[in-house]
Structure 1
């Protein structure tokens, strides 16, 4: 992978990770680096899923691919936040 590909993956990871964090209600006690890692993984997995369903390369903006990636990032952020807080929810203390 070239340096431009790595930079692109980081930028997309930041965007997807932040959007995924915004979807999850409440405060997540994970750092920005974990958000970026979750975003990069969600972007890669979402692109693979979109390609498998044949919706990756469309004319214009690939909204379905973005929605898949953001949903995966939200699940990843929620799972990581749950692991980091020991599974405590908002109502249980």
Structure 2
């Protein structure tokens, strides 16, 4: 065990997990969004979604005017950046 694990370290999980509260399912989608009140127009934040929660999370973001686009989550791709670029 690593001390960072105990302290809530920043180590990435082995598999991408859905961002919906209490969901532990593997993510299949990347929902890209930004808050125009605090982010520059080109900034994209990412939520991950499983197949069951994609629609719910998209609706949540769309209702608030935050949603930009939804892309499939490709294996071996960084979930935080479009195209997997670091």
The two structures have a TM-score, normalised by structure 2, of 0.30
The structure carrying a bigger helix percent of its residues is 1
Higher RCO (CA 8 Å, separation ≥ 6 residues): 1
